[in-house]
Amino acid sequence: MSKLIRMDHTGHSTLAEWTPEDPVAVEAAVTAFRAELERGYLAMVSTGPGHAEHVRELPVQAELVIMRLPISGG
Amino acid sequence: MATVDVLPEVAGVHWRARVDAAQLRLRGRLWTLTTIAHVVPFAGAATLLMALQPLALPVALVCLAHAWIIPELYAQRGANVLRPRGRAAHGSPTAEPEQRSVGLLGDLVGHEARELHARTGLVLEPGRLGTWLVGESGAVLLHGRRRVFCYCVKVDPRRAQAAELPSGDRIAHLLLALRSDEPGFATVANLAFAGAHWRLRRRLRKEMRPALRAARAALDSRARLAR
């Protein structure tokens, strides 16, 4: 089961869960993903120890997609 | 999967040169020159005063104090990037989000990094530019044998949600950005201090010093493997 989560004031919230074989759940996840991008969140996927990638489309095969806020120099 | 190699936040600092090893060496040397430029005139003035008039001892001591304090203030500025925000007390309404955020962070790192975070509040992350220590509102890069670069970088405070994030999420934000584009991360971050490892260690909170030791050990171990 893949998960789309957003880091927020609760620690993190699960926005969608899907399996690639379930098109309805995938569609709901894609909709939730796009809504977060429109809110200014960035999507990250871990790609092995010490590696992550920023993605602009929901990677349906990924186990975990994390939405984060942008960072800036302090 | 449509992936993006460059950190999107880099577009916000397009005028900055992208950080690489050569630029780090250059910036490190510039910081050393700046420190010398602060210390030498004051130390020289103290020496000259004592040579000309021993009764000027109090003024000479003030000059020496300046020569000592200015580099220490810079090092303190560097240590401040790792300063944690207040944590939620056990049983308080924000304690659960705090635990959830630390749980997610724990899923992103290995066992050793998780254990180090529990003790020091910092996450150790090996990178191509060196070894990083990531905190809630900044990160320290150990580059080479002796030098550290302290970067002030945090979740964009212009976002209303940023203020409400628990500590684990703050670190996870920085860690994911660092992992996706390390040079971009260092480019976006503001350099607060570059200097000797020992200068930073002295100004760090006691509970954080083991993280600096661990980062140094990790760097040494990588250097040995590379030989």
ipTM, two decimals: 0.95
Q: Return the residue of A nearest to B156 by Cα.
A: A71
Please check whether residue B103 touches A, CB under 8 A.
Answer: yes
In chain B, % of residues over pLDDT 70: 95
Considering only residues B88 and A6, tell me which one the structure prediction assigns the higher pLDDT: A6
Residue B88 has pLDDT above 70, yes or no: no
Q: A48 CA to chain B: closest CA distance, Å?
A: 10
**Cross-chain residue pair B155–A74, CB shorter than 8 Å:** no
Cα–Cα distance measured from residue B112 to residue A62, given in angstroms and rounded to the nearest whole number: 25
Cα–Cα distance measured from residue B64 to residue B49, given in angstroms and rounded to the nearest whole number: 11
Q: Return the residue of A nearest to B93 by Cα.
A: A10
Chain A and chain B share a number of CB contacts under 8 A equal to 127
Residue B3 has pLDDT above 70, yes or no: no
SS3 of residue A52 by DSSP? strand
Option in B1, B110, B177 nearest A71 (CB): B177
CA B63: distance to chain centroid?
Answer: 29
Residue B151 has pLDDT above 90, yes or no: yes
Residues of A in contact with B110 (CB under 8 A): 49
Residues of B in contact with A46 (CB under 8 A): 108, 176, 179
List the helix and strand counts (H, then E) for chain A.
1, 6
Option in B96, B152, B169 nearest A73 (CB): B152
Cα–Cα distance measured from residue B24 to residue B29, given in angstroms and rounded to the nearest whole number: 9
What is the pLDDT at residue B1?
58
pTM above threshold 0.90:
yes
pLDDT tens digits for A9-33? 999 999 999 999 999 999 999 999 9
Cα–Cα distance measured from residue B187 to residue B67, given in angstroms and rounded to the nearest whole number: 31
Q: Which pair of tokens denotes residue B193?
A: 């201090």
Average pLDDT, rounded, for chain B:
92
Q: B213 CA to chain A: closest CA distance, Å?
A: 20
Nearest to B87 by CA among B206, B151, B168: B168
**Cross-chain residue pair B3–A55, CB shorter than 8 Å:** yes
Residue B96 has pLDDT above 80, yes or no: yes
What is the pLDDT at residue A11?
93
What is the pLDDT at residue A73?
93
What is the pLDDT at residue B211?
97
Considering only residues B3 and A19, tell me which one the structure prediction assigns the higher pLDDT: A19
Cα–Cα distance measured from residue B132 to residue B166, given in angstroms and rounded to the nearest whole number: 21
What is the pLDDT at residue B2?
59
Cα–Cα distance measured from residue A34 to residue A56, given in angstroms and rounded to the nearest whole number: 9
Please check whether residue B128 touches A, CB under 8 A.
Answer: no
Mean pLDDT of B120-138: 96
Extract the runs of DSSP E, i.e. beta strands, from chain A: 2-6, 13-18, 42-46, 52-55, 64-68, 71-73
Q: Is residue A3 very low, low, confident or very high in pLDDT (cuts 50, 70, 90)?
A: very high
Q: Which pair of tokens denotes residue A55?
A: 């993605």
Q: A5 CA to chain B: closest CA distance, Å?
A: 10
Element (H, E) at B8: none
In chain B, % of residues over pLDDT 90: 82
DSSP string, B52-107: H-GGGHHHHHHHHHHHHHHHHHHHHHHHHTTPPPPPPPTTSTTHHHHHHHHHHHHH
How many other C-beta atoms lie within 10 A of the C-beta of residue B149? 27
Option in B4, B97, B126 nearest A11 (CB): B97
What is the pLDDT at residue B51?
96
What is the pLDDT at residue B85?
77
pLDDT tens digits for B171-212? 999 999 999 999 999 999 999 999 999 999 999 999 999 999
Residue B227 has pLDDT above 90, yes or no: no
